[in-house]
């Protein structure tokens, strides 16, 4: 009876080691993919959300100032 238990113990160890290797490979693949995506996005000159929001706020402010100046100019021209 000792031999089958030893075989099962060895198989169990082998499977445990294989799962550890598979988990390590998964982690390494995820890290490599994230790194590749980060490089790809950086090369495309995409803006960050913060940069987009800042430019959007500037455009809104400029539009409001433009409308105020147009109203003022129209009032001066009406005189």
The pLDDT value given to residue 2: 57
pTM of the model: 0.47
Same-domain check for residues 33 and 14: yes
The pLDDT value given to residue 44: 86
> What phi and psi values does residue 69 have, to the nearest 5 degrees?
-65, -40
Same-domain check for residues 4 and 40: yes
Structural domains of the chain, count: 2
The rounded distance, in Å, linking the Cα atoms of 15 and 3 is 18
Residue 76, pLDDT > 70, answer yes
Same-domain check for residues 10 and 22: yes
Same-domain check for residues 41 and 58: no
DSSP state of 1: -
The pLDDT value given to residue 35: 94
Same-domain check for residues 56 and 73: yes
The pLDDT value given to residue 11: 87
* Residue-wise pLDDT tens digits, 1-54: 456 788 888 888 888 888 888 898 999 999 999 999 989 988 888 888 999 999
């Amino acid at each position: 009876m000792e031999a089958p238990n030893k075989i099962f113990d060895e198989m169990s160890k082998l499977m445990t080691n294989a799962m550890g290797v598979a988990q390590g490979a998964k982690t390494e693949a995820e890290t490599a993919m994230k790194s590749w995506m980060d490089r790809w996005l950086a090369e495309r000159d995409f803006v960050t959300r913060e940069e987009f929001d800042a430019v959007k706020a500037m455009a809104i402010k400029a539009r409001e100032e433009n409308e105020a100046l147009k109203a003022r100019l129209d009032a001066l021209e009406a005189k």
